[in-house]
Protein backbone atom coordinates (compact mmCIF):
# COMPACT_ATOMS: atom_id res chain seq x y z
CA UNK A 1 0.00 0.00 0.00
CA UNK A 2 2.86 2.34 0.66
CA UNK A 3 4.16 2.03 -2.88
CA UNK A 4 0.71 2.66 -4.32
CA UNK A 5 0.28 5.74 -2.18
CA UNK A 6 3.65 6.97 -3.39
CA UNK A 7 2.17 6.95 -6.86
CA UNK A 8 -1.31 8.27 -6.05
CA UNK A 9 -1.27 9.66 -2.55
CA UNK A 10 -4.32 11.88 -2.53
CA UNK A 11 -6.99 9.62 -4.13
CA UNK A 12 -5.88 6.75 -1.92
CA UNK A 13 -6.11 9.03 1.07
CA UNK A 14 -9.65 9.99 0.04
CA UNK A 15 -10.48 6.30 -0.05
CA UNK A 16 -9.01 5.83 3.41
CA UNK A 17 -10.88 8.85 4.65
CA UNK A 18 -14.25 7.69 3.34
CA UNK A 19 -13.94 3.98 4.07
CA UNK A 20 -12.28 4.19 7.47
CA UNK A 21 -13.38 1.65 10.10
CA UNK A 22 -16.46 3.04 11.86
CA UNK A 23 -15.78 4.22 15.36
CA UNK A 24 -18.49 3.47 17.86
CA UNK A 25 -19.57 6.60 19.69
CA UNK A 26 -22.34 7.28 22.15
CA UNK A 27 -24.80 9.95 21.04
CA UNK A 28 -26.40 12.41 23.37
CA UNK A 29 -29.81 10.93 22.65
CA UNK A 30 -31.50 8.51 24.97
CA UNK A 31 -31.21 5.45 22.71
CA UNK A 32 -27.36 5.62 22.62
CA UNK A 33 -27.30 4.63 18.94
CA UNK A 34 -23.69 4.04 17.72
CA UNK A 35 -22.54 6.75 15.34
CA UNK A 36 -20.98 5.67 12.05
CA UNK A 37 -18.19 8.22 11.65
CA UNK A 38 -17.37 6.98 8.15
CA UNK A 39 -20.94 7.79 7.08
CA UNK A 40 -20.79 11.13 8.87
CA UNK A 41 -17.57 12.09 7.09
CA UNK A 42 -18.96 10.90 3.78
CA UNK A 43 -22.15 12.94 4.21
CA UNK A 44 -20.27 16.02 5.39
CA UNK A 45 -17.83 15.83 2.49
CA UNK A 46 -20.63 15.35 -0.05
CA UNK A 47 -22.52 18.29 1.41
CA UNK A 48 -19.41 20.43 1.19
CA UNK A 49 -18.90 19.45 -2.47
CA UNK A 50 -22.44 20.38 -3.45
CA UNK A 51 -21.75 24.06 -2.75
CA UNK A 52 -19.19 24.49 -5.59
CA UNK A 53 -21.59 22.70 -7.96
CA UNK A 54 -24.33 25.26 -7.31
CA UNK A 55 -21.74 28.05 -7.41
CA UNK A 56 -20.42 26.98 -10.82
CA UNK A 57 -23.87 26.51 -12.35
CA UNK A 58 -25.05 29.93 -11.17
CA UNK A 59 -22.05 31.78 -12.55
CA UNK A 60 -21.96 29.81 -15.79
CA UNK A 61 -25.49 30.97 -16.54
CA UNK A 62 -24.21 34.55 -16.23
CA UNK A 63 -20.79 34.55 -17.91
CA UNK A 64 -20.62 31.28 -19.93
CA UNK A 65 -16.95 30.70 -19.12
CA UNK A 66 -15.54 27.28 -20.02
CA UNK A 67 -13.49 26.80 -16.85
CA UNK A 68 -16.74 26.67 -14.87
CA UNK A 69 -17.73 23.57 -16.86
CA UNK A 70 -14.44 21.82 -16.11
CA UNK A 71 -14.54 22.77 -12.43
CA UNK A 72 -18.12 21.53 -12.21
CA UNK A 73 -17.04 18.27 -13.86
CA UNK A 74 -14.17 17.91 -11.37
CA UNK A 75 -16.51 18.34 -8.44
CA UNK A 76 -19.10 15.92 -9.86
CA UNK A 77 -16.40 13.31 -10.45
CA UNK A 78 -15.16 13.79 -6.90
CA UNK A 79 -18.71 13.36 -5.60
CA UNK A 80 -19.11 10.15 -7.61
CA UNK A 81 -15.70 8.93 -6.39
CA UNK A 82 -16.66 9.72 -2.81
CA UNK A 83 -19.84 7.66 -3.10
CA UNK A 84 -18.00 4.81 -4.84
CA UNK A 85 -15.31 4.59 -2.15
CA UNK A 86 -17.75 4.94 0.74
CA UNK A 87 -19.78 2.25 2.48
CA UNK A 88 -22.98 3.43 0.81
CA UNK A 89 -24.83 0.54 -0.87
CA UNK A 90 -24.86 0.66 -4.67
CA UNK A 91 -26.38 -2.78 -5.25
CA UNK A 92 -27.03 -4.62 -7.47
CA UNK A 93 -24.77 -3.07 -10.12
CA UNK A 94 -21.89 -1.99 -7.89
CA UNK A 95 -21.74 -4.14 -4.74
CA UNK A 96 -19.44 -2.76 -2.08
CA UNK A 97 -16.55 -5.21 -2.53
CA UNK A 98 -17.24 -6.16 -6.13
CA UNK A 99 -14.92 -5.83 -9.12
CA UNK A 100 -17.33 -3.48 -10.94
CA UNK A 101 -17.16 -0.99 -8.09
CA UNK A 102 -13.36 -1.15 -8.11
CA UNK A 103 -13.31 -0.49 -11.87
CA UNK A 104 -15.72 2.43 -11.44
CA UNK A 105 -13.53 3.95 -8.74
CA UNK A 106 -10.39 3.62 -10.87
CA UNK A 107 -12.06 5.20 -13.89
CA UNK A 108 -13.41 8.09 -11.82
CA UNK A 109 -9.99 8.65 -10.30
CA UNK A 110 -8.32 8.77 -13.72
CA UNK A 111 -11.07 11.06 -15.02
CA UNK A 112 -10.39 13.50 -12.20
CA UNK A 113 -6.70 13.58 -13.16
CA UNK A 114 -7.35 13.77 -16.90
CA UNK A 115 -9.43 16.95 -16.82
CA UNK A 116 -7.17 18.92 -14.47
CA UNK A 117 -5.17 20.22 -17.42
CA UNK A 118 -8.32 21.29 -19.29
CA UNK A 119 -9.54 23.06 -16.16
CA UNK A 120 -6.23 24.84 -15.55
CA UNK A 121 -5.67 26.08 -19.10
CA UNK A 122 -9.20 27.48 -19.31
CA UNK A 123 -8.92 29.04 -15.85
CA UNK A 124 -5.67 30.94 -16.42
CA UNK A 125 -5.76 34.35 -18.03
CA UNK A 126 -5.09 34.48 -21.79
CA UNK A 127 -1.42 34.69 -22.73
CA UNK A 128 0.08 33.67 -19.37
CA UNK A 129 1.16 30.25 -20.66
CA UNK A 130 2.83 29.49 -23.97
CA UNK A 131 0.85 27.88 -26.83
CA UNK A 132 2.88 24.66 -26.46
CA UNK A 133 2.08 24.34 -22.75
CA UNK A 134 -1.55 25.11 -23.54
CA UNK A 135 -1.66 22.22 -26.03
CA UNK A 136 0.14 19.82 -23.69
CA UNK A 137 -2.38 20.47 -20.93
CA UNK A 138 -5.07 19.27 -23.31
CA UNK A 139 -3.09 16.17 -24.38
CA UNK A 140 -2.96 14.77 -20.86
CA UNK A 141 -6.57 13.58 -21.24
CA UNK A 142 -5.73 10.82 -23.70
CA UNK A 143 -2.34 10.12 -22.13
CA UNK A 144 -3.98 9.30 -18.80
CA UNK A 145 -6.70 7.32 -20.58
CA UNK A 146 -4.09 5.15 -22.34
CA UNK A 147 -2.57 4.15 -19.00
CA UNK A 148 -5.84 3.57 -17.13
CA UNK A 149 -5.88 -0.22 -17.82
CA UNK A 150 -2.77 -0.51 -15.61
CA UNK A 151 -5.04 -0.06 -12.58
CA UNK A 152 -7.26 -2.94 -13.68
CA UNK A 153 -4.62 -5.56 -14.52
CA UNK A 154 -3.68 -7.97 -11.73
CA UNK A 155 -0.81 -8.34 -11.89
CA UNK A 156 0.09 -5.39 -14.07
CA UNK A 157 3.15 -5.79 -16.33
CA UNK A 158 6.01 -3.78 -14.79
CA UNK A 159 6.70 -1.94 -18.03
CA UNK A 160 3.09 -0.82 -18.32
CA UNK A 161 3.04 0.33 -14.69
CA UNK A 162 6.30 2.20 -15.26
CA UNK A 163 4.68 3.93 -18.25
CA UNK A 164 1.70 4.94 -16.11
CA UNK A 165 3.96 6.28 -13.38
CA UNK A 166 5.91 8.27 -15.97
CA UNK A 167 2.68 9.74 -17.36
CA UNK A 168 1.42 10.74 -13.92
CA UNK A 169 4.76 12.27 -12.97
CA UNK A 170 4.76 14.10 -16.31
CA UNK A 171 1.25 15.41 -15.61
CA UNK A 172 2.37 16.70 -12.21
CA UNK A 173 5.49 18.34 -13.64
CA UNK A 174 3.49 19.91 -16.47
CA UNK A 175 0.97 21.38 -14.03
CA UNK A 176 3.78 22.78 -11.89
CA UNK A 177 5.55 24.21 -14.95
CA UNK A 178 2.33 25.80 -16.24
CA UNK A 179 1.66 27.39 -12.86
CA UNK A 180 5.24 28.63 -12.59
CA UNK A 181 5.17 30.11 -16.08
CA UNK A 182 1.83 31.79 -15.43
CA UNK A 183 3.04 33.24 -12.12
CA UNK A 184 6.17 34.59 -13.82
CA UNK A 185 3.91 36.35 -16.32
CA UNK A 186 1.80 37.97 -13.61
CA UNK A 187 -1.18 35.59 -13.39
CA UNK A 188 -3.41 36.09 -10.36
CA UNK A 189 -5.24 32.82 -10.99
CA UNK A 190 -1.98 30.84 -10.98
CA UNK A 191 -1.23 32.21 -7.51
CA UNK A 192 -4.67 31.22 -6.24
CA UNK A 193 -4.40 27.72 -7.70
CA UNK A 194 -0.88 27.19 -6.43
CA UNK A 195 -2.06 28.08 -2.95
CA UNK A 196 -5.05 25.74 -3.33
CA UNK A 197 -2.97 22.74 -4.41
CA UNK A 198 0.05 23.36 -2.17
CA UNK A 199 -1.81 22.12 0.94
CA UNK A 200 -2.58 18.79 -0.72
CA UNK A 201 1.03 18.45 -1.81
CA UNK A 202 2.22 19.26 1.71
CA UNK A 203 -0.04 16.61 3.27
CA UNK A 204 1.12 14.01 0.74
CA UNK A 205 4.77 14.88 1.27
CA UNK A 206 4.36 14.60 5.04
CA UNK A 207 2.70 11.22 4.67
CA UNK A 208 5.49 9.97 2.41
CA UNK A 209 8.08 11.20 4.90
CA UNK A 210 6.44 9.20 7.68
CA UNK A 211 6.14 6.08 5.51
CA UNK A 212 9.59 6.12 3.92
CA UNK A 213 11.84 7.87 6.44
CA UNK A 214 10.20 7.29 9.82
CA UNK A 215 8.74 3.90 8.92
CA UNK A 216 5.35 4.55 10.47
CA UNK A 217 2.11 6.04 9.11
CA UNK A 218 1.22 9.67 9.60
CA UNK A 219 -1.23 9.52 12.51
CA UNK A 220 -3.13 12.67 11.55
CA UNK A 221 -3.09 11.90 7.83
CA UNK A 222 -6.85 11.51 7.38
CA UNK A 223 -7.72 14.66 9.28
CA UNK A 224 -5.02 16.67 7.53
CA UNK A 225 -6.11 15.40 4.14
CA UNK A 226 -9.75 16.25 4.74
CA UNK A 227 -8.75 19.77 5.80
CA UNK A 228 -6.48 20.09 2.74
CA UNK A 229 -9.24 18.97 0.37
CA UNK A 230 -11.69 21.37 1.96
CA UNK A 231 -9.15 24.19 1.75
CA UNK A 232 -8.42 23.31 -1.90
CA UNK A 233 -12.08 23.62 -2.81
CA UNK A 234 -12.40 26.83 -0.81
CA UNK A 235 -9.34 28.53 -2.33
CA UNK A 236 -10.27 27.37 -5.82
CA UNK A 237 -13.74 28.83 -5.35
CA UNK A 238 -12.24 32.10 -4.09
CA UNK A 239 -9.90 32.19 -7.08
CA UNK A 240 -12.75 31.49 -9.48
CA UNK A 241 -14.79 34.21 -7.81
CA UNK A 242 -11.92 36.65 -8.25
CA UNK A 243 -11.59 35.67 -11.92
CA UNK A 244 -15.33 36.03 -12.45
CA UNK A 245 -15.37 39.50 -10.93
CA UNK A 246 -12.50 40.59 -13.15
CA UNK A 247 -14.18 39.03 -16.19
CA UNK A 248 -17.39 40.84 -15.35
CA UNK A 249 -15.44 44.09 -15.01
CA UNK A 250 -13.80 43.47 -18.38
CA UNK A 251 -17.16 42.65 -19.96
CA UNK A 252 -18.67 45.82 -18.50
CA UNK A 253 -15.75 47.88 -19.78
CA UNK A 254 -16.01 46.29 -23.22
CA UNK A 255 -19.76 46.94 -23.29
CA UNK A 256 -19.24 50.54 -22.22
CA UNK A 257 -16.50 50.99 -24.83
CA UNK A 258 -18.75 49.51 -27.51
CA UNK A 259 -21.55 51.85 -26.48
CA UNK A 260 -19.16 54.81 -26.53
CA UNK A 261 -17.87 53.82 -29.96
CA UNK A 262 -21.43 53.44 -31.20
CA UNK A 263 -22.23 56.94 -29.93
CA UNK A 264 -19.09 58.31 -31.55
CA UNK A 265 -19.95 56.59 -34.82
CA UNK A 266 -23.43 58.16 -34.83
CA UNK A 267 -22.68 61.58 -33.30
CA UNK A 268 -21.23 64.84 -34.58
CA UNK A 269 -18.53 65.86 -32.06
CA UNK A 270 -18.99 69.63 -32.47
CA UNK A 271 -22.75 69.95 -31.97
CA UNK A 272 -23.60 66.68 -30.21
CA UNK A 273 -26.23 66.02 -32.89
CA UNK A 274 -26.50 62.74 -34.75
CA UNK A 275 -24.55 62.48 -37.99
CA UNK A 276 -25.87 60.96 -41.22
CA UNK A 277 -25.51 57.41 -39.87
CA UNK A 278 -27.39 58.24 -36.70
CA UNK A 279 -30.03 60.03 -38.76
CA UNK A 280 -30.57 56.88 -40.84
CA UNK A 281 -31.06 54.82 -37.67
CA UNK A 282 -33.57 57.35 -36.34
CA UNK A 283 -35.41 57.39 -39.70
CA UNK A 284 -35.74 53.60 -39.62
CA UNK A 285 -36.87 53.58 -35.98
CA UNK A 286 -39.52 56.30 -36.39
CA UNK A 287 -40.60 57.23 -39.89
CA UNK A 288 -41.23 61.01 -40.31
CA UNK A 289 -43.82 62.81 -42.44
CA UNK A 290 -41.16 64.84 -44.26
CA UNK A 291 -37.42 65.46 -44.51
CA UNK A 292 -35.75 68.84 -44.85
CA UNK A 293 -32.15 69.77 -45.66
CA UNK A 294 -31.06 73.12 -44.18
CA UNK A 295 -27.86 74.85 -45.31
CA UNK A 296 -26.25 78.01 -43.89
CA UNK A 297 -26.02 80.68 -46.60
CA UNK A 298 -22.55 82.03 -47.47
CA UNK A 299 -20.96 80.19 -44.57
CA UNK A 300 -17.52 80.26 -46.22
CA UNK A 301 -17.55 84.02 -45.77
CA UNK A 302 -17.80 83.59 -41.99
CA UNK A 303 -14.77 81.28 -41.91
CA UNK A 304 -12.76 83.49 -44.25
CA UNK A 305 -13.47 86.76 -42.41
CA UNK A 306 -13.55 85.62 -38.78
CA UNK A 307 -11.80 82.22 -38.64
CA UNK A 308 -12.96 78.69 -38.11
CA UNK A 309 -13.46 79.15 -34.36
CA UNK A 310 -16.18 81.71 -35.03
CA UNK A 311 -17.52 79.46 -37.79
CA UNK A 312 -17.83 76.65 -35.24
CA UNK A 313 -19.77 78.97 -32.90
CA UNK A 314 -22.16 79.77 -35.75
CA UNK A 315 -22.71 76.06 -36.44
CA UNK A 316 -23.42 75.39 -32.76
CA UNK A 317 -25.90 78.27 -32.68
CA UNK A 318 -27.66 76.95 -35.80
CA UNK A 319 -27.82 73.45 -34.27
CA UNK A 320 -29.59 74.89 -31.23
CA UNK A 321 -32.01 76.88 -33.38
CA UNK A 322 -33.08 73.80 -35.35
CA UNK A 323 -34.01 71.73 -32.30
CA UNK A 324 -37.74 71.23 -31.85
CA UNK A 325 -40.20 68.89 -30.13
CA UNK A 326 -41.91 68.10 -33.44
CA UNK A 327 -38.73 67.38 -35.39
CA UNK A 328 -35.37 65.66 -35.14
CA UNK A 329 -32.20 67.45 -36.29
CA UNK A 330 -28.86 65.99 -37.38
CA UNK A 331 -25.72 67.47 -38.87
CA UNK A 332 -24.84 65.99 -42.25
CA UNK A 333 -21.47 67.74 -42.40
CA UNK A 334 -20.01 71.19 -42.82
CA UNK A 335 -22.81 73.77 -42.71
CA UNK A 336 -25.54 71.32 -43.74
CA UNK A 337 -28.24 69.96 -41.42
CA UNK A 338 -31.14 67.55 -41.87
CA UNK A 339 -34.57 67.63 -40.22
CA UNK A 340 -36.96 64.72 -39.72
CA UNK A 341 -40.37 66.40 -39.43
CA UNK A 342 -43.14 64.62 -37.48
CA UNK A 343 -45.83 67.31 -37.09
CA UNK A 344 -49.07 67.67 -39.04
CA UNK A 345 -47.67 70.67 -40.94
CA UNK A 346 -44.07 69.70 -41.74
CA UNK A 347 -43.46 72.44 -44.33
CA UNK A 348 -44.55 75.18 -41.94
CA UNK A 349 -42.44 73.62 -39.18
CA UNK A 350 -39.35 73.55 -41.41
CA UNK A 351 -39.85 77.18 -42.42
CA UNK A 352 -40.29 78.25 -38.80
CA UNK A 353 -37.06 76.51 -37.78
CA UNK A 354 -35.21 77.96 -40.77
CA UNK A 355 -36.22 81.49 -39.77
CA UNK A 356 -34.96 80.91 -36.20
CA UNK A 357 -31.41 80.48 -37.53
CA UNK A 358 -30.88 84.21 -38.15
CA UNK A 359 -32.12 85.16 -34.68
CA UNK A 360 -30.05 82.51 -32.89
CA UNK A 361 -26.80 83.42 -34.63
CA UNK A 362 -27.34 87.16 -34.02
CA UNK A 363 -27.95 86.44 -30.33
CA UNK A 364 -25.06 84.00 -29.72
CA UNK A 365 -22.37 85.19 -32.16
CA UNK A 366 -22.25 88.99 -32.04
CA UNK A 367 -20.17 91.22 -34.30
CA UNK A 368 -20.50 89.44 -37.63
CA UNK A 369 -21.75 92.58 -39.39
CA UNK A 370 -24.50 90.92 -41.46
CA UNK A 371 -27.43 88.58 -40.74
CA UNK A 372 -26.68 84.88 -41.20
CA UNK A 373 -29.51 83.18 -43.10
CA UNK A 374 -30.28 79.64 -44.18
CA UNK A 375 -31.93 77.92 -47.12
CA UNK A 376 -33.99 74.71 -46.98
CA UNK A 377 -35.31 72.01 -49.28
CA UNK A 378 -38.29 69.93 -48.12
CA UNK A 379 -39.38 66.47 -49.27
CA UNK A 380 -42.71 64.93 -48.24
CA UNK A 381 -42.63 61.15 -47.76
CA UNK A 382 -45.06 58.67 -49.24
CA UNK A 383 -45.43 55.02 -48.28
CA UNK A 384 -42.62 53.88 -50.59
CA UNK A 385 -40.02 56.54 -49.82
CA UNK A 386 -36.77 55.33 -48.30
CA UNK A 387 -34.14 57.29 -46.40
CA UNK A 388 -31.72 57.82 -49.31
CA UNK A 389 -34.56 58.74 -51.65
CA UNK A 390 -36.01 61.28 -49.20
CA UNK A 391 -32.61 62.89 -48.57
CA UNK A 392 -31.92 63.14 -52.30
CA UNK A 393 -35.30 64.78 -53.01
CA UNK A 394 -34.81 67.33 -50.20
CA UNK A 395 -31.28 68.04 -51.42
CA UNK A 396 -32.51 68.78 -54.94
CA UNK A 397 -35.02 71.31 -53.59
CA UNK A 398 -32.26 72.87 -51.48
CA UNK A 399 -30.34 73.55 -54.71
CA UNK A 400 -33.48 75.18 -56.12
CA UNK A 401 -33.69 77.44 -53.05
CA UNK A 402 -30.02 78.40 -53.41
CA UNK A 403 -30.48 79.11 -57.12
CA UNK A 404 -33.54 81.25 -56.39
CA UNK A 405 -31.51 83.65 -54.22
CA UNK A 406 -31.05 81.83 -50.87
CA UNK A 407 -32.80 82.66 -47.57
CA UNK A 408 -35.88 80.65 -48.47
CA UNK A 409 -37.42 77.16 -48.31
CA UNK A 410 -38.80 75.19 -51.25
CA UNK A 411 -41.17 72.28 -50.80
CA UNK A 412 -42.74 69.90 -53.30
CA UNK A 413 -45.98 71.86 -53.84
CA UNK A 414 -44.89 75.33 -52.84
CA UNK A 415 -43.58 78.21 -54.84
CA UNK A 416 -40.48 79.93 -53.60
CA UNK A 417 -41.15 81.25 -50.11
CA UNK A 418 -39.09 84.33 -49.46
CA UNK A 419 -38.50 85.19 -45.87
CA UNK A 420 -38.35 88.62 -44.42
CA UNK A 421 -34.89 89.41 -43.17
CA UNK A 422 -34.73 89.71 -39.45
DSSP bridge partners of 26: 34
Angle at alpha carbon of residue 155, lines to 150 and 161, rounded to 5°: 35
Supply the DSSP string of 43-106, one letter for each residue: HHHHHHHHHHHHHHHHHHHHH--HHHHHHHHHHHHHHHHHHHHSS--BTTTB-TTSHHHHHHHH
Catalytic pick from 335, 349, 351, 364? 335
Dihedral sign of CA atoms 181, 182, 184, 185 in order? positive
Catalytic residue check, 335:
yes
Indicate left, alpha or beta for 333 from its phi (over 0: left) and psi (-120 to 50: alpha): left
How many Å apart are CA 52 and CA 235, to the nearest integer? 11
How would you label 55-88 residue by residue, b for 16+ Cβ within 10 Å and e otherwise? bbeebbeeeebebbbbbbbbbbbbbbbbbbbbeb
Q: How far apart are the first and last CA of the chain?
A: 104
- Are 5 and 221 contacting, i.e. CB atoms less than 8 angstroms apart? no
Instruction: With H, G, I as helix, E, B as strand and everything else as coil, classify residue 154.
Output: coil
How many Å apart are CA 278 and CA 283, to the nearest integer? 9
Residues acting as catalytic residues: 335
Amino acid sequence: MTGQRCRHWWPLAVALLLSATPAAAQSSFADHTPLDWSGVLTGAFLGFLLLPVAYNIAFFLILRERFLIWQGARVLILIALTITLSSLPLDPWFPRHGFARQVLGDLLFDSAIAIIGLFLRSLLEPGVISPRVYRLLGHQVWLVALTSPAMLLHPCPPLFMALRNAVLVGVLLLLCFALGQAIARGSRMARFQTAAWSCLIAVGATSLYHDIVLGRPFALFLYALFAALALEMLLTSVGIGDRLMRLKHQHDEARASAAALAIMAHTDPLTGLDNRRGLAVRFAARRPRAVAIVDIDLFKRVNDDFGHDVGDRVIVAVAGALRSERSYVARLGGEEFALLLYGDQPQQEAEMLRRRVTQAVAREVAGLGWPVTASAGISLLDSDSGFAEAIKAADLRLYEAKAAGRNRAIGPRDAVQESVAA
